[in-house]
Structure 1
Amino acid sequence: MKRVAFFLPVTSQPRYHKRIKAFQKAGYDNLIFSFERNYFKGDGDISSFISLGKIEHEKYLKRMFKYLKVIKIIKDFKRQIKECEIIYIFGLDLVLFIVILSKLFGFKQKIIYEVADIRSIMIGNSFKSRMMRFLERKAISKVNLTTVTSPYFIEGYYQKEQRIHSNNFFVLENKLYNLKNTRYCREMWNDNSPLVIGLFGVIRCKYSWNIICELAERYPNKINIYVRGYVLGIESFQSDVERLDNIVYEGEYTSPDDLAYIYSKIDICWVGNITNENLNTKLALPNRLYESLYYRVPMVAHKGSGVSKRIEELDAGWIVDFKDVEGTIHSIISISKEDYQYKKKNTVVSDNLCVDSHDHLELIQKVQSNG
């Protein structure tokens, strides 16, 4: 049977599960290697994988020492890896490592490198940033295909910053895949009831959280906040939830199983975050864009973000400046029934824009044809 070796930074990321399931559907068996860490449970953990060890979030220096132990693990599974037709790798540190080990252990398979974020370390003129960009260029020159989750990454980063002009890129957006439940669309909001704003996923944007709390505190009878996901780096989160009765946090969720339920609870989805001042905010397209469109929920996003471009094209939400707290609050609290209904109707789009019907198949066909 055809086989793919996957190398993952974490087991619970839904995006990784999509790739694994798509290759399985196409007749491939899999051999999965993954680090372990505390992270958003997403689509749940993969039940069967080979552990590369435990790592901490963003502790890159400590992580490098882990790779010394990984060499022995890869050596122990050298024969099984050589039997695979494809090596699929997520993350720059992993692809650099596997490219080097491929030379050491004689791996000849096609290698796919997937990029879903442009890390802040990749941008700037510091020695470290220049070195990381150089290493990535070297890695991309050695792999057969680079998959990106946003088309803006190619022009805005790889062509502009990395000066890479190649046909060996494939855009595979974060569309919904392998849906298991019936779509449920919430009824139209009217201004006689509180506006329910949903904040989902990895909760780490302090700009967003500050505005969310201000809205909840100032307008307890007009605004309700519904939060689901994994909280990362917001120290005041628990105390804010405890002091504000109109903020409800119901923990993490599994995607796609829980999506119909959580989107049925909200009128608006908060989709655009600023996690730092890097290029990623301007280029990335988050899962919540596709989920919101599928469940017919208008969105709020930060101006200049990658997702704001899509929302503006569809006129399916409100674009605000998260750094202008007062302006953002005014925009949200001023939403009228008529304006809301107009934006909601614009979320009714072709499923091809939010659900993967053939994208993964096209990826697999491209890999198979790419010598």
Structure 2
Amino acid sequence: MLQILYLAQDLADPAVRRRTLTLVSGGASVTLAGFRRGANPLAAVHGVEPIELGTTADGRFAQRLGAVAGACVSLKNRLRDVRKPDVIIARNLEMLAVAKRAVALFGGEVPIVYECLDIHRLMLRKDLIGRALRAAEAQLGRNARWLVTSSPAFIEHYFRPLSGIDAPPVLLENKVLDIDGASEGPAPPAEPPLPGAPWKIGWFGALRCRKSLALLADFSRRMEGRFEVVLRGRPAYSEFEDFDGFVRGEPFIRFEGAYRNPEDLAGIYGDVHFTWAIDFFEEGQNSAWLLPNRLYEGCRHGRVPIAMKGTETARFLSVRGIGLVLEEPDADSLATLLGPMTPESYAEAAGRINRCSAGTWVFDRGDCEALVRRLAALAHETPCRIPSAAITEPRHNEGGLL
């Protein structure tokens, strides 16, 4: 059985849980180790007891650097009962440093996979700080065997032109994990609201965008109850002045708390009509390049996504002829887009989504097993460098695995 040491920057992150489930479902034995940023019992994986390397704080970069340094010093003791892994996966830059230390402790020759699903704004700065961080990434990832990322735009706009990472890229889209075959066939048809009931926009996942919250509040007030906004997930409280107070003060917005991914997806998406697939958190950079989890989740359940013009998400929707695209980031534009919605136009938009193959949205057990087989092959390969010109262009790959 393939032994994987998975190093995570936030053990409470639902995406870490999903990746761990992916690897376990594919037949790997996973040791999960990482930092704790907050409590989230819904992030637990049955049978996997994480090794905590310390505590970090969201948005406090200097504190995180100190925590990483401390973890590297104490790593030998924390991993004393861990069997030598066949592969180490390091999620995000700080875990690359921990991975390098772990390789040294295990005697070398353990391949490292660098998993980077977001490009932090600090990495894109043109000043000394940005250059120093990119240099650190290049040095720490110099011997990485794979670069795993979730959007072709990350490769196009960051990893090829700016990053010093030259590992072959592997595109793993943020698809819905379906290890039990529950997602076979089309989703139940999305129904418009009953007469007099509101249309509902679902904004689920990492809630970190003040601009989105303000826009949706403005829009929902203008529509005077014709539209409601349902929030689910983990608010990044450091990014809001008073998230809970703001939501309580909005008559047409409600926050319904955290959820399990993938177990609760059918229920929460079944309660809405549209998916808010827009993020202005790092506008023009990471937010323009990402393909968010909720894009795949909402479409898998037949809900109509709303994307922002000029983003990778809008390009993704345009290629497939689905979804709605917001022209301007304001309530007036959103009212123009959604205000004329009728049951007939909604049924037509939802129908186009259901005509897409399930594989566009779903990562099933067979995909999990294929990924673990590729990781097993990587563990037995002789390290080599693939020239960047030979790397397959990810935009032409529909299957999600390069």
- TM-score by length of structure 2 reads 0.84
State the partner residue of 2:369.
361
Would the aligned equivalents of 1:120 and 1:279 in 2 still touch at CA under 8 Å? Answer: yes
Give the equivalent residue in structure 2 for 1:6: 6
Deviates more, 1:36-45 or 1:344-353: 36-45
Cα pair 1:40 1:202 within 8 Å, conserved: no
Distance 1:343 1:151, change over 3 A: same
**Hey, what's the Cα distance between the residues in 1 that align with 2:36 and 2:359?**
34
- Counterpart of 1:342 in structure 2 is 348
Which residue does 2:91 correspond to in 1? Answer: 90
Residue 243 of structure 1 corresponds to: 249
In 2, are the aligned partners of 1:119 and 1:278 still within 8 Å (CA)?
no
Q: State the alpha-carbon separation in 2 of the partners of residues 278 and 101 from structure 1.
A: 36
CA distance in 2, matches of 1:118, 1:39: 24
Whole-Å separation in 2 of the counterparts to 1:42 and 1:284: 24
Question: Would the alpha carbon gap of residues 9 and 187 (structure 1) be closer, same or farther in structure 2, given more than 3 Å must change?
Answer: same
Q: 1:263 matched to which residue of 2? A: 269
Q: Match of 1:169?
A: 169
Q: Is the 8 A contact 1:44 1:254 kept in 2?
A: no
Q: Which residue of structure 1 aligns with residue 152 of structure 2?
A: 151
**CA-to-aligned-CA distance 1:38-84 (integer Å, 9 cap, x gap):** 26666446761111011111211012222333134311255555621
Unaligned runs of 5+ in 2: 382-402
2:42 corresponds to 1:38:
no
Corresponding residue number in structure 2 for 1:281 = 287
Say which structure, 1 or 2, has more relative contact order (CA 8 Å, 6+ apart): 2
Cα RMSD between the aligned structures? 2.5
1:130 aligns with 2:131: yes
Q: Is the 8 A contact 1:88 1:113 kept in 2?
A: yes
Displaced runs of 4 or more, over 6 A:
none
**Amino acid paired to 1:57:** D
Once the two structures are overlaid, the 10-residue window that deviates more, 251-260 or 190-199, is 190-199
Counterparts of 1:306-317 in structure 2 under 5 Å? 306-317=312-323
Shift of 1:345: 0.9
Residue 205 of structure 1 pairs with residue 209 of structure 2: yes
Quick check: 1:172–1:360 contact (8 Å CA) kept in 2? no
- Structure 1 gaps, min length 5: none
Give the corresponding residue for 1:120: 121
Which residue type is aligned with residue 256 of structure 1? P
For residues 184-212 of structure 1, the C-alpha deviation after alignment (integer angstroms, 9 at most, x for no partner) is 54323477542111111121212211111
- Paired with 1:276 and 1:131, the residues of 2 have a C-alpha distance of 20
1:56 match: secondary structure: coil
Q: From the superposition, tell whether residues 259 and 26 of structure 1 become closer, same or farther in structure 2 (CA, over 3 Å).
A: closer
Per-residue deviation at 1:319? Answer: 0.9
Alignment partners' CA distance in 1, 2:79 and 2:44: 28
Task: Give me the whole-angstrom Cα distance separating, in 1, the residues matched to 2:322 and 2:44.
Answer: 31
Count, aligned residues? 370
Instruction: Rate the CA distance shift 1:135–1:21 in 2: closer, same or farther, 3 A.
Output: same
> Is residue 2:339 matched to residue 1:333?
yes
1:319 aligned counterpart, secondary structure: strand
TM-score (norm 1): 0.90
1:299–1:104 Cα change, 3 Å:
same
- Letter of the structure 2 residue corresponding to residue 99 of structure 1: K
Aligned-pair CA distance for 1:303? 1.4
Are the aligned partners of 1:186 and 1:265 in contact in 2 as well (CA < 8 Å)?
no
